[in-house]
A and B are shown apart, each in its own frame.
Chain A
């Protein structure tokens, strides 16, 4: 059961990566992440290695739960983000013992107090979305780091777009 669901997820992720140009990032260490989560990697579909990759996965997210990204000064969930959260909810549904911490992050622009508040809204919006899909809220914690712990260095949109995220950590 787990295996088949995961295979479908991987396909969906790959498909999403193909469509999403805005936040597309290089696939990374997908097989490692799959092994780390105790889930066997499905057979390769293309030349790209199977496992978590695409929209929610990059060098900063190699776990089984993908991150979601935001526009500037926004905590609204794009369709890509909603798609990723659905996948995260499916994974959590299949791994009932797992719980997660969602960190809300912002890019460096704007003022840090407001970004702290915005980061929390990003984390809680992501949590609420997953809870609405049936995952108990007790399994999801949230925290905001505002602009305090950026992932990508740099002062341009390529760095900023990576730093506006809800980051999932398996607990």
Chain B
């Protein structure tokens, strides 16, 4: 097919590049999604490999095309349709033009293609996207980098396309922190949004648990047993310096309120309560005061409300504390064991896990007003520790459905559940960063 396209390449290149300079870098966010019907399913997308200008560029084209396809498919947002043979037709004056009739006839809603050129030090990837019905250009942008950055260039385009089509942040460039016992000890690791680029962040050889990245991605909060008891640690990821909370008792399960404050359960005053802690490890203030277990803070995007687990009425349920008014209300009423709240980036929903009488654990979402509880997993052992993607399209979670605990991702409605990464040992407690 590429052979067929080559004679047309020079003309199309001119056509696409002229668009690149004539269009704004990004169309209005949400404009496209606004015309889609609510719940109309995946977007039918055709991606053509970027046309190569020059010998070296042809190898870059293949790599960029593979990466764009893989990355867009990962989001679960698209139905990827192969490009038709007659992608180009004869346009005005005999010049080749995109054949929107053919694109429409095979059901494509969006087409993306472009050009790649330059030399190894400066690769230029120019990508354009069209709404096929009406042949309307919706995105055109040039990405530059070295030939070692092809994956990043591809992801930058994917990020722009997904943000344009959905109106919110994409997963591209985000990372996930998690716990694995691969080394024989539970240590903290990170990986890219798609499970690639796994890195070990701690080597304490004790028990490291419950990692959470600050909203700006510069600090990692977690607990470990290096002092002999579970203590909160805050690692500056740029220099790996670690601040500790030096209080007696335990520290359990931190959750960030802002880049400056993390909340965690501490028991140095006797009863377990949730406190706000500064990034230097100093205490800011206590936010709960009820007898019994208070645990697992997760904040609304504006930091004004905190979802948390409390066993104040016997068994664990999820509550919401309004930090402005000081009012606490119970969120979950179904089931006897609801834990691990995770507030969505849009602020409207909270994901959590619920244990059934037979020991099976499943992930639910519920609106912050307590309505609309929706079960996302079922019939497959323990599914727990939900954490939202930066745009709220996806949820990463732990599942023991194949025996050992492993990381999985799914769309926010529960569809498209699949393994995130292949790694030995068990993986658990994933936390998706909100940064790009």
Residues of chain A at the chain B interface (Cβ within 8 Å): 73, 109-114, 116-118, 120-121, 124, 143-145, 148
Contacts and interface: CB of A to CB of B under 8 A. Distances in A.
B182 to A, nearest CB: 16
A73 B359 CA distance: 12
20 contacts: A73-B315, A109-B359, A111-B339, A112-B428, A113-B339, A113-B340, A114-B311, A116-B209, A116-B252, A116-B253, A117-B250, A117-B311, A120-B249, A143-B229, A144-B229, A144-B230, A145-B207, A148-B186, A148-B207, A148-B209
Task: List the 7 closest A-B pairs by CB distance, nearest first.
Answer: A113-B253, A117-B293, A111-B339, A143-B229, A116-B252, A114-B339, A120-B250
Interface of B: 186, 207, 209-210, 228-230, 249-250, 252-253, 265, 267, 270, 272, 293, 295-296, 309, 311, 315-316, 337, 339-340, 353, 355, 359, 361, 384-385, 428-429
A88 to B, nearest CB: 21
Given A143-B228, A144-B250, A110 B337 contact: yes
A116 B250 contact: yes
A112 B209 contact: yes
A124 B271 CA distance: 9
B53 to A, nearest CB: 54
A109 B361 CA distance: 9
Contacts of A111: 339-340, 353, 355, 361, 384-385
Given A143-B229, A148-B207, A114 B309 contact: yes
Nearest to A116: B252
A73 B339 CA distance: 13
Given A73-B337, A111-B361, A116 B230 contact: yes
A121 B272 CA distance: 9
Nearest to A121: B293
A110 B355 contact: yes
Contacts of B355: 109-111
A145 B225 CA distance: 9
A53 B358 CA distance: 33
Given A113-B295, A116-B252, 8 more contacts: A110-B337, A111-B355, A113-B296, A113-B309, A114-B309, A120-B267, A120-B272, A144-B230
A171 to B, nearest CB: 11
B295 A117 contact: yes
Please indicate which of the listed interface residues B252, B359, B384 has the most CB atoms of chain A within 10 Å of its own CB. B252
Nearest to B248: A141
Nearest to A73: B315
Nearest to B309: A114
Contacts of B270: 124
Contact of A114 (B209, B230, B249, B295): B295
Contacts of B252: 113, 116-117, 120
